Amino acid sequence: MRRHLQLILPLFVLAGLIAGCGPKAVRSDGGSSRPLVQRTPIAPPVIKAQKPAELANPWKPEKGKRDWRHIVIHHTASSRDSVDSINQAHLKRGWEGVGYHFVIGNGNGMADGEIEPTFRWKTQMHGAHAGNEEYNQHGIGICLVGNFEDTHPSAAQLAAVKRLVGVLKTQYEIKSANVVGHKTVKSTACPGKHFPLTEVSQSEVLPFVVGGADATELHLLAAEGSQVR
Ligand SMILES: [Zn+2]
């Protein structure tokens, strides 16, 4: 038996060397029982491999695409509102629900600067916001909570609407001239004299840089769904 082992053991050692599974875990501390300190550097945020176009538009609907030609900006003419409250109000008018495609909160009812796409956007359905057939059928309706005849949009709302308009303009090839206030297409004060329409209509998204700070942020936005704060 002893002789038998003497023959077999060297074979095991040889097999181990061939298979490359020789001793690897050599401890630099001399083999004491003290646990090794892991000196792993802090990893940068992981960005999943996605196409730039997908990253650049966190509001891209899952399927379908409508022939969008315009963007129409509105205000609620109220100090407090949300997608839910507007939806209830528009249902009472006999509509199929909230008439806008996006609502941007002001901190009363929704978070300040929060962008929420409505069912009309998710299903790429026509809007019920312009009082004008062309603009209801082919206009993306964006409504900001607030009364901009009396007050200005918050800084967060302004940043949010500019980002949203910039992304939508790029995605659907809509020119700045086709980003209009409700009052441009119908006799109304909406979105109010304090809304900086020209500034917002000229919003642009910068060319997408993979791996940049913006990419990380946009990825996070995409992961969260739609919220911009
Ligand atoms: Zn309006």
pLDDT of amino acid 41: 65
Domains identified in the chain and CATH numbers: 66-224 (3.40.80.10)
Query: 69 C-alpha vs ligand 1 centroid, how far in Å?
Result: 17
Query: 186 C-alpha vs ligand 1 centroid, how far in Å?
Result: 9
CA 224 to chain centre: 7
pLDDT of amino acid 60: 87
pLDDT of amino acid 34: 57
Query: 74 C-alpha vs ligand 1 centroid, how far in Å?
Result: 4
| Per-residue confidence in pLDDT tens, the chain, 229 aa | 444 545 444 444 444 444 433 344 444 444 445 555 666 666 665 545 545 544 567 888 877 789 999 999 999 999 999 999 999 999 999 999 999 999 999 999 999 999 999 999 999 999 999 999 999 999 999 999 999 999 999 999 999 999 999 999 999 999 999 999 999 999 999 999 999 999 999 999 865 444 444 444 443 343 333 343 3
Query: 91 C-alpha vs ligand 1 centroid, how far in Å?
Result: 17
Query: 106 C-alpha vs ligand 1 centroid, how far in Å?
Result: 16
Nearest alpha-carbon partner for 74 in 23, 111, 128 = 128
Q: Other CB atoms closer than 10 Å to residue 34's CB: what's the count?
A: 9
Query: 83 C-alpha vs ligand 1 centroid, how far in Å?
Result: 15
Query: 134 C-alpha vs ligand 1 centroid, how far in Å?
Result: 15
Query: 229 C-alpha vs ligand 1 centroid, how far in Å?
Result: 23
Q: Are 99 and 129 in contact (CB under 8 A)?
A: yes
What is the pTM for the complete model shown?
0.69
Query: 182 C-alpha vs ligand 1 centroid, how far in Å?
Result: 5
